[in-house]
Amino acid sequence: MRLLGSGVLPLDDQRTKYVVQSMLESPEKSWETVETSNIGADVALFNNKLTFSGDYYIKRNIDMLVPIQRPSTIGIGLPRYNFGELKTWGWEVNLKWTDKKGDFNYWVGVNVSDSQNKLVKYEGKTSLGPGVNSFIEGQPINTIWGYKTDGLFQSDQEYKDYGVFQSNQTGAGDVKYLDLNGDMKINSGDGTLANHGDLVKIGDTAPRYTYGIDLGCKWKGFDFSTFIQGVGKRDFVVRDIALMPLKESWRMPNRIHLDYWTPENPGAFWPRPYRGGGHNYLPSDKWVQNGAYIRLKNIQLGYTIPASIVKRIKAERVRVYVSGQDLWEKTDVFEIFDPETKENKDFIYPFYRVVSFGVNVSF
C-alpha cells in the first residue's frame, strides 16, 4: 500500500496542489496470530453461598503488528509490520459470599486480577530514550525511563561543586540529577538497553493488581450497595507541559505550585520558577507518579415504600434512593491529576463527583 499525501501551495498566487508519499507501503503486512492457553476453576460451596472462580492465562501474540525503527536515511514514515512477539500472562480471582439472616440479605464480592507482559521479539531492537518507551525487546510494553534525582540544589555553588553538567540554566533551586555512570554529564548514553547512560527504568504504565469490591444488603424496605475499585501498582508519566508552572499556565492551577524553592523555602517540593525551565522537568523519578489508588466508585441507599401505602396512589412500586459516584479515593498522585488518567494526557475533561437523588415509580 502506497499512500500519497497532498496539500496546496500558492505558486504565482494560484492555488496549486502537491503530492508526496508520506508512508511506505507494506505489502507483506498481515493479520496477527494470537495463541491463548488458560486454566480455570469454578467452585461453589455452602449451598452456593460462597462462589469462587479463578483463571490463569498465557497469551502469545506471535506476529504482533509493531511500529518499526529504521535509520533516518530511509526518509519516509513506516507503517506497522508483523515483527513483534508479545507474551502476556496473568490471573483473575472472583470470590463472592451471599447469605441471608431472617429479613437481612447481604453479599460481599471481591475480584482481583493481574496481568504482565514482555516483548519477546522486536528485531533485536533495544533503543530507548527518556520518557515512555513503548517497544524495547525483552521489556514490558511502555516502560518508563528517567533520571534519578536527589532533591534541589540549594545554591549555585552547590551545582558548581557537583561538577556534573546538567544544563546551562541550572543553578540554585533546580533539580539535581544523579550521574550514575560517572561521565560528569547527564545523558542517555548510547540510548540502548546495553548502555543507557544515566537513565534508569522507573516502572511501566500497565496497571497491576486491579481489584474491585462489591458489597450490599437489603433489610425490609431498605437496600444498600457499594462498589470500590482500585489498582495496586501503576506508574504514569505527566507531560512536562502539564507540570511546568510558567510554560502553559492555563493547563494547571496555581495552587499546586505555591510550594516552590526560594532561599527562604529550601525544603520546597517544586524547583524555582524559571521561564523555559524545561531542564527541571526531564522524565525522572521526581515526576513519575505512583498511580496506585482505591476509589469509591459508587454507593447507593434506597428505600422501597411499603405496598400498602403505595396502593393509595395506584402505583405498583415506589422506591426512593440517594446515590453517589466517585465520592472518595485515596492515592499518592498529585491532587490535580485523576489517578485513572491515561498516559501523557493533560487536556482531559475535568473529573467530577456526582450525588443524585431519585424516585423510581412503576405503575
Partner 1 sequence: MKKIALLIIGGVLALTSCELDRMPETSIKDDSFWKTENDIKLACNYFYVAISGLPMTEDNRSDDSYATTPNSISDGSRITPNSSGDYGAPYERIRWANNILEKAELMNLDPAILCKYKAEAKFFRAWNYFELVKKYGDVPLILKTLDIYSPELKNPRTSKDVVVDTIYADLDYAAMYLTTASSLAKSPSNYGRATETAALALKSRVALYVGTHQKFHNYGTPDKHLQIAVDAANQIMALGYHKLYVSSNSDKSYHDLFHLEGEGVSNRENILVRMYGVDKNNLIASHNFSRNVEQGTISPTRSLVESYLCTDGLPASISPLAQKTETNSLSIFVNKDPRLNATVYKTGDLNWLTSNPTTPFSPTIAQIKTGFACKKYVSQSDWLLQQSFIDRILIRYAEVLLNYAEAKFELNNGAISNEDLDKSINLIRTRAGMPKLTNEFVAANGLDMRNEIRRERRVELALEGFRYEDIIRWKIAEQVLPQAVLGAKYFKDEYAKVTNPTITAEGYFVVQPSSKRKFDPQRDYLYPIPIQEIALTNGAITQNPNW
Give residues 156-215 in contact with partner 1 (rule: CB under 8 A).
167-169, 185-188, 190-192
The interface with partner 1 within residues 109-128 (CB under 8 A) comprises: 125, 127
Distance CA 61, CA 268 (A): 47
Q: Classify burial at 24, counting beta carbons within 10 Å of its beta carbon; exposed 0-12, middle 13-18, buried 19 or more.
A: middle
Min separation Cβ 129 and partner 1, Å: 4
Of 289, 330, 114, 293, nearest to 202 by C-alpha is 289
Min separation Cβ 246 and partner 1, Å: 11
Applying CB under 8 A, which of residues 90, 130, 140, 207 lies at the interface with partner 1? 130
Q: Using the rule CB under 8 A, is 246 a contact of partner 1?
A: no
The interface with partner 1 within residues 62-91 (CB under 8 A) comprises: 65, 68-76, 78-81
User: What are the C-alpha distances in Å from 354 to residues 5, 224, 328, 346?
Assistant: 46, 17, 11, 22
Min separation Cβ 159 and partner 1, Å: 13
Which of the ranges 39-47, 92-100, 248-256, 302-310 carries the binding residues for partner 1, by CB under 8 A? 39-47
Q: Which residues contact 344 (CB under 8 A, 6 or more apart)?
A: 132, 237, 238, 239
Pick 47 or 254: Cβ nearer partner 1? 47
DSSP label at 84? E
Min separation Cβ 20 and partner 1, Å: 4
Which of the ranges 20-28, 224-232, 256-264, 317-325 carries the binding residues for partner 1, by CB under 8 A? 20-28
Output phi, psi for 287, to 5 deg: -105, -15
Using a CB cutoff of 8 Å and minimum separation of 24, what contacts does 341-349 make?
341/236, 343/132, 343/142, 343/205, 343/236, 343/237, 344/132, 344/237, 344/238, 344/239, 346/238, 346/239, 346/241, 346/242, 346/251, 347/251
Which of the ranges 21-29, 86-94, 251-259, 286-294 carries the binding residues for partner 1, by CB under 8 A? 21-29
Which of the ranges 61-69, 102-110, 233-241, 297-305 carries the binding residues for partner 1, by CB under 8 A? 61-69
Applying CB under 8 A, which of residues 101, 255, 264, 275 lies at the interface with partner 1? 275
Pick 98 or 188: Cβ nearer partner 1? 188
Min separation Cβ 328 and partner 1, Å: 37
Q: Using the rule CB under 8 A, is 10 a contact of partner 1?
A: yes
Q: Is 310 helix (H, G, I), strand (E, B) or coil?
A: helix
Q: Is 288 helix (H, G, I), strand (E, B) or coil?
A: coil
